Amino acid sequence: MNQNDLLNLRHATLDEARNDMYERLSSRDANYSLDAPLYNDPHMFRIDMEEVFQKEWLFVGMSSEVPKRGDYFTVEIGQNPVLVIRDADGSVNAFHNTCRHRGSRLCTEKHGKVANLVCPYHQWTYDLKGNLLFAGMEMGNGFDKQKHGLKRAHCKTAGGFVFVCLANEAPKGDFDDFLQTLEEYMEPYDVENTKLAIESNMYERANWKLVLENNRECYHCAANHPELLNTLLEWDDTNDPRAPKDFLDHYQAQADKWDAESIPHAHKSFGPGLRNRIVRMPLKKGTQAMTIDGEAACKKLLGRVNNPELGSMRILHLPNSWNHMQSDHFIVFRVLPISAQETMVTTKWFVHKDAVEGVDYDPERLRKVWDATNEQDRVLGEQNQLGINSIAYQPGPYSETYEFGVMNFIEWYSDTMLKNLKK
């Protein structure tokens, strides 16, 4: 069998996998988990990457990570290295992090600062807007630099959040409506005047969908997250069917204080499966932040915030992010697939840009609760994956009262895949 035969066989196998995926998603029971191949099959994973992570808007980081001209951060979206950089005009742009000469990665560090972008391989040089400035006389007199600028990725920012899309044409719909609301809800925090205090990258041997499913319910919290439950109330919002009256009374008392300071808190959601969702929820009575003792983790409050009891404003963006905004710091989470059964979960903690480490905040105290929670979730996700890999696994039923968030996620995933597979 020659190389062309192998290539044709691979394509045929992938086409079969696409058809198989379409049939499985079309006929699935909405109240049950997915079939095993959707969690562990390499071909199905490749389709996930092509139809979700190379087509949809993805959260990659915060604009305050690139505060000045030439500041950049990098991110790996499957096999696609991406570079996010602030240019001389103050705009935040995203480029494919690959040189137009022979494809080498330009920036190899997670964070950095440059005057221009210089390829380490042969020193091709680009400005901060991706224009090719220098390729050397070796390319000859007929070489046109204007045709060899960096390839852009779609990039949008709102409320300090940076999103990219790798598709040739970015999807439309209600994403811009979400960004407008995000801008409004993030205004009190003044993200441009925050800084990255801590970054954690956790490797998890589980499919990315299992990571998201775990996040979308607190059914498992009581038995697994003692540190988190020191402050977190598990009710998802005031419409949570399990929410008792004392929680609703607590919410209303806090909401009255938020209204007095013009702090947005009403539940806003956009898209199928509540894909984009913002809601502010109070923490337990007498607590201020998600720390081990419930006290604030940083002495400097964010932006125009005066009330230390802002609770947690929860922001969801599918397919790859959930976030907790608090009065003194905020935490963002980014999920990026590696393989069918491997995922990278990145957690970042942000504080006021003038906060001094060791004086205004203690990094270990800042991160303690979520380090513990992430590790607990890693173990749960990996055990979930191992069970799904068993020949005995078959899709199981979701609880409509405890796992409605998981059902929403699977609804979004299924609708998105079916839509994209049709194209």
For residue range 267-277, list pLDDT tens digits in order.
999 988 789 99
The per-residue pLDDT for 1 is 47
The pTM of this model reads 0.95
Point out the residues of the chain with pLDDT beneath 70.
1-12
Domain-located, residue 141: yes
The per-residue pLDDT for 8 is 52
Domain-located, residue 13: no
What CATH number corresponds to the domain at position 352?
Answer: 3.90.380.10
Final residue in a domain of this structure, among 102, 135, 165: 165
Report yes or no: 170 and 57 within 8 Å, Cβ to Cβ. Answer: yes
Residues 186, 362, 358, CA angle at the centre, nearest 5°?
A: 110
Report yes or no: 107 and 72 within 8 Å, Cβ to Cβ. Answer: yes
Alpha-carbon gap, residue 272 to 268, rounded angstroms: 13
For 195, how many CA atoms within 13 A lie in the half-sphere containing its CB? Answer: 13
The per-residue pLDDT for 97 is 98
Burial of 290 (0-12, 13-18, 19+ CB in 10 A): buried
Report yes or no: 173 and 79 within 8 Å, Cβ to Cβ. Answer: no
3-state secondary structure (DSSP) of residue 307: coil
Domain-located, residue 5: no
Is 273 in the same domain as 392? Answer: yes
Which two three-digit tokens encode residue 363?
């990094």
Is 198 in the same domain as 315? Answer: yes
pLDDT tens figures, 294-304:
999 999 999 99
Question: By residue range, what is the domain housing residue 199?
Answer: 175-408
The per-residue pLDDT for 6 is 47
Is 257 in the same domain as 150? Answer: no
Alpha-carbon gap, residue 329 to 303, rounded angstroms: 10
The per-residue pLDDT for 43 is 94
Ramachandran angles phi, psi of 326, nearest 5°: -125, 180
HEC letters along 22-75 = HHHHHCCCCCECCCCHHHHCHHHHHHHHHHHHCCCCEEEEEHHHCCCCCEEEEE
How many structural domains comprise the chain? Answer: 2
Is 181 in the same domain as 126? Answer: no
Task: Return the residue matching tokens 């609708």.
Answer: 415
The per-residue pLDDT for 2 is 53
The per-residue pLDDT for 172 is 83
